[in-house]
Amino acid sequence: MNTNNFQAPRSSSRERRAQDSARRLMVDADRSPFGWWKLAMSRGFEFSGRARRAEYWWFTFVNLGFLVVLLLPMVVFETRGGPGFVIPAIGIVLFGLCVVVPALAVAVRRLHDTGRSGAWILIGMIPIINYVGGIVLVVFYCMDGDSGSNEHGPSPKYLAYRRS
Q: Greatest CA span in the chain, whole angstroms?
A: 85
For the segment 112-136, the average pLDDT, to the nearest whole number, is 87
CA nearest neighbour of 30 among 41, 17, 19, 46: 41
As a whole number of angstroms, the distance between CA 134 and CA 96 comes to: 20
CB 73 within 8 A of CB 14: no
Burial of 158 (0-12, 13-18, 19+ CB in 10 A): middle
Long-range residue pairs from 70-74, CB within 8 A, at least 24 positions apart, any chain: 70/95
Q: Within 13 A of 108's CA, how many CA atoms are on the CB side? A: 18
Under the banding of pLDDT at 50, 70 and 90, the label for residue 139 is: very high
pLDDT digits (tens, 9 = 90+) for 42-80: 999 999 999 999 999 999 999 999 999 988 888 877 766
Instruction: Specify the pLDDT at position 163.
Output: 45
Mean pLDDT (the chain) is: 81
What lies within 8 Å, CB to CB, of 3 at 6+ separation is none
pLDDT digits (tens, 9 = 90+) for 84-102: 677 888 889 999 999 999 9
CB 150 within 8 A of CB 22: no
Domain range annotation of the chain? 29-144
